Amino acid sequence: MKKVLIGSTILGLFSMCAHAQSSVTLYGLIDTGLVYSNNQLGHSNWQMISSATQNTVFGLKGDEDLGGGLHAIFKLEQAFVLNNGAQALPGDSFGSQALIGMQSDAYGTMMFGRQFDVVNDLVGPLSAGYNTWGGSIAAHPFDNDNLASNAVIFNNTVKYISPTYLGATLETMYAFSNEPGNFAVNRAYGFALSYTKGPVNLAAGYLQMNNPGTGLGAVTTNDGSANFIAQRQRIWSLGGNLTFGAATVGLLWSHTQIDNAAGVLSFGTGTYLGASDPSAGTLDGSLRLDNYEVNAKYSLTPALSVSGAYTYTHGSYNGSSPGWNTGMLQCDYAVSKRTDFYLEGVYQNVHGAPPNSVLSHAMLNTLSPSSTSTQVAVTAGMRHTF
């Protein structure tokens, strides 16, 4: 009897220890490169640039096993500029992500805090602009659909992620304005659905932002993490890819409606163009953008890969029909599981935009705008993850 009691006690103690298991992980990604561009603000430029393809970040993430398939989780992540060590999002201690939540194996995950949106989570991975084999510099014009790796980050956000069932995963979110008397001003909400079955990946989503860039709500201009100042921004997106052997081929469409736009962020300078910068032209009215992307990646060897993408963006703005052609080619060589080198070229041309509009200037993401309708950039870079 005593042996039974002792055995039960030991088993109980082990069970308590198992339930109390927790982990905290330090992680990060560093991306830096030398970039040549033919035109930035009227001049060709050689520069060292941080985060040309992926956000340069470090962070802490934790998981505590509470037992019964329930976990407490958190993530604190800071984006920084490798060139000088400065914050990539000025004034934010953990500007990339700052969240806490509960994860249930049976019922899904609920997270609270500063987070990326659901469209970026599920549709983004189908776009070249989200991935290491294309990245931020290859984003759609102005990253108008939030699909690139350095997309808009939302404050005051509650997000739910369902368990994966028969290959399908659902995400939904609501980002509060937190402003007394202005519940609907600078808030955001959306949903997205993905499906994975063998070599097939599909995803679709919708995201709406009311008064983005206004005040201190869901999407703020204070740290440069917004991309438009407008009355409302709505995004629909749909994409898929197919993997066969060493190749992956994808198609993606997104539609963005921006009502009463007043300015657009130049990611290269962290400043707004348009109404706030008359020298860069104006942006005042409703803007509609349809992005049509085709992308492909092929692994020549386990270490060497080539990739490419082409996006045609058709716009509608104050009676005009601007159009953007954006093309990307990259070659990547991985010297280990955590370190790789890449050579990437990106081209953009815009036509049909009003000459007094900021839309008439080509502007590759992460670079300052061109003074003309064309911009070309070539990047030789290195990435390391830890």
Residue 142 inside a domain? The answer is yes
Residue-range definition of the domain harbouring residue 110 = 25-385
Mean pLDDT of 251-276: 87
Q: Structural domain tally of the chain?
A: 1
Residue 1 inside a domain? The answer is no
List Cα–Cα distances, 28 to 80, 102, 171, 311, 320, in angstroms.
Answer: 11, 23, 25, 30, 43
Residue 17 inside a domain? The answer is no
Share of the chain above pLDDT 70, in %: 93
3-state secondary structure string across 157-219:
EEEEECCCECCEEEEEEEECCCCCCCCCCCEEEEEEEEEEECCEEEEEEEEEEECCCCCCCCC
Is 368 in a helix, a strand, or coil?
Answer: coil
Residue 15 inside a domain? The answer is no
What pLDDT, in 10s, does the model give residues 197-210?
Answer: 999 999 999 999 99
Residue 5 inside a domain? The answer is no
Half-sphere exposure of 322 (CA within 13 A, CB side): 23
Residue 264 inside a domain? The answer is yes
Q: Collect all residues with Cβ–Cβ distance below 8 Å to 34 and sequence separation of at least 6.
A: 46, 47, 48, 49, 379, 380, 381
Residue 89 inside a domain? The answer is yes
CATH number at residue 275: 2.40.160.10
The pLDDT-based confidence of 7 (bands split at 50, 70, 90) is very low
Residue 12 inside a domain? The answer is no
Using only C-alpha atoms, what is the Rg of the chain?
22
Whether the model pTM is above 0.75 = yes
Q: Collect all residues with Cβ–Cβ distance below 8 Å to 186 and sequence separation of at least 6.
A: 177, 179, 209, 210, 211, 212, 213, 214, 215, 216, 217, 218, 219, 220
The type of residue at 273 is L
User: 219 and 114 in contact (C-beta within 8 Å)?
Assistant: no
Q: Provide the mean pLDDT of the chain.
A: 92
- In this predicted structure, what is the pLDDT of residue 272? 85
